[in-house]
Amino acid sequence: MVDEIYEMLSKSGYSDKAIEYFKSRESIGEIKGADQVTDLTGPCGDTMKIYLKVDRDKIQDAKIQVLGCPGAVASGCAIAALAKGKSLKEAKEIDLDALYKELEKLPDKKIHCARLAVKTLQKALEQYEEKAGEPKRKQMTGGSQ
């Protein structure tokens, strides 16, 4: 049986691995009781929302919801898979190159979709760290008065 979605995406320049991410949707969903939920809308109007479950500086689980194109779905699923199991420090190093390596190939005009996934994860990590640093800052301020 001919897989029309596969054919279409493959012809447009998606690697088999990127198509697999798009089709399996393994990382799509939400995490109840997530420690961080962050969304970001790209210049194209597509939106990603990432959920992180963090335990002692390690990302135990990551899920993503995507309102967007196949490039965004593949990139979002790949970024969640990459982040899962990493320390916060390691996750901060996930950049466009790392995501591209994981996806192997996207059509050239889909680079901004991958960029949106990287930015969504990085924004989530920043917000999580800000939140985590908040009690310490408050303590320090409180202690000096």
Note the residues at the interface with ligand FES (CB under 6 A): 42, 44, 46, 68-69, 71-72, 110, 113, 116
Q: In angstroms, what is the minimal distance from the CB of 104 to ligand FES? A: 17
Among 80, 75, 124, 137, which Cα is nearest to 104's?
A: 75
Q: In angstroms, what is the minimal distance from the CB of 42 to ligand FES? A: 5
Give whichever of 49 and 110 is closer to ligand FES, judged by the CB atom.
110
Give whichever of 71 and 83 is closer to ligand FES, judged by the CB atom.
71
Give whichever of 13 and 42 is closer to ligand FES, judged by the CB atom.
42
Q: Which two tokens stand for residue 89?
A: 């420090």
Q: In angstroms, what is the minimal distance from the CB of 131 to ligand FES? A: 27
